[in-house]
Amino acid sequence: MTCAGDVGGDMHAAALKRENTMCGHNFEFIDLFAGAGGLSEGLESAGFHGLFANEIVPNYSETYRLNHPGTVVSTSDIRSLDPRAIRKKMGIEREELDLLAGGPPCQGFSINAPVRSVNDRRNHLFKEFLRFVDAFAPRAVLIENVPGLVSFAHGATLHAILDALAELGYGSDVRILGAAYYGVPQMRWRTIIIGLRGKNLPANAFPEPIRHAPIRPNFTAMFDGRSLLKMPTAETSAPFITVRDAIDDLPPLKNGEQGERIKSYCHEPDCDYQCRARVGSPGVVNHEAPRLSDINLKRLEYIAPGGNWTDIPDELLPNGMQVARKSDHTKRYGRVHPEGLASTILTKCDPHWGAYFHYSQDRSFTVREAARIQSFYDHFVFTGTQAQQFAQVGNAVPPLLAQAVGLSIKTILKKGV
């Protein structure tokens, strides 16, 4: 099939470059709480140009900077930043920026967090995002987060966000999107808030699903008496992208094998997903197999594709799982089925927490396989230790999902040009 330096100086240079390229309307955005850059990747694929990004974690911002050389990247605590000073240094007038996007940290109210508390300081970082909204008055805003945001504090936090946007002059709304409906081969959901300055948000602001997928929500999706899920219609006939579609052309590895830094693909791309992933790539990077323990290798012998911990003899299971109900924890120690969807990619592909065993190779996923399942291009390089790379991938917004949202926002903005 064919297919970091001085931020102030960087902002001045970016402003000059921007001044020289304003002959036509370029859709431009700023990304806050940017992580390694998954949201930005998708928005750029949708036709937006990133001007500025802020990410406090150094190894995340290093990855962002490496993959987005045309964007000014700050690694400061956002609470120390002056958004008005940044706007002036960038040469951006108020109400000129097209989109302010971001994903404030979600650990404090994730449905997977052990404690969900309004006292968790991370939950109040939305206020920092709103400071930037006030300073830039962008044409549109985009906030992404976990589905648990909807039920946190019985919906009070989500109400507060929507009310705050309204006070700043934005008509906004919220939906929960299933990544698999937009071509991402995993069971992942994200809460998306879109706001439009001075206007009510149109009914078609959120992208329509383009694929069917066997995913079911395991969280509260009701808000103010309505479901926030964006579901495929009867006319949506395209099938979901499978795990095999996503990673089958990547070179095989043995448990713990490192190999060359840049590896060759094992065969020509045999689907559109693989063709897309390879665009601009010199080869396969970030593709080294983690080393499984002897006990996990022994467990793996009993698990067929699509199987899980219930296939493992009791004496080989951790003590806690020997007494667990067979109907619980159905993804733990799972070997993914090649024709199915992957588990949600977490910050580490630990077999104890999900189906992260390869379907045909006796090992767990590599960083590149996790990135493919998240829909990153192969030319996107993750920096840092292997553990840091896994964390960057797992915390990212899937670029294909971000692209779908970006295209919808761009359509709305075009109508207002």
Instruction: Give the catalytic positions in this structure.
Output: 106
Beta bridge partners of 223: 226
Distance CA 287, CA 289 (A): 7
Q: Given CA atoms 14, 16, 17, 19 in this order, what sign does their dihedral have?
A: positive
Name the phi and psi angles at 308, rounded to 5.
-155, -160
CA nearest to 34, candidates 78, 83, 4, 70: 78
Beta bridge partners of 357: 335, 364
* C-alpha to C-alpha distances, 91 to 19, 94, 96, 274, nearest whole angstrom: 8, 10, 10, 40
Residue type at 166 in one-letter notation:
A
Distance CA 204, CA 153 (A): 28
Distance CA 309, CA 334 (A): 6
Distance CA 179, CA 188 (A): 5
Yes or no: say if 135 and 164 are a contact pair by the CB < 8 Å rule.
no
Q: Which residue has the tokens 């219930």?
A: 310
Residue type at 272 in one-letter notation:
D
Distance CA 376, CA 81 (A): 30
* C-alpha to C-alpha distances, 22 to 25, 96, 139, nearest whole angstrom: 7, 12, 17
Question: Cβ-count burial of 327 within 10 angstroms (0-12 exposed, 13-18 middle, 19+ buried)?
Answer: exposed
Distance CA 397, CA 34 (A): 10
Task: Provide the total of helices (H) and of strands (E) in the chain, helices listed first.
Answer: 13, 9
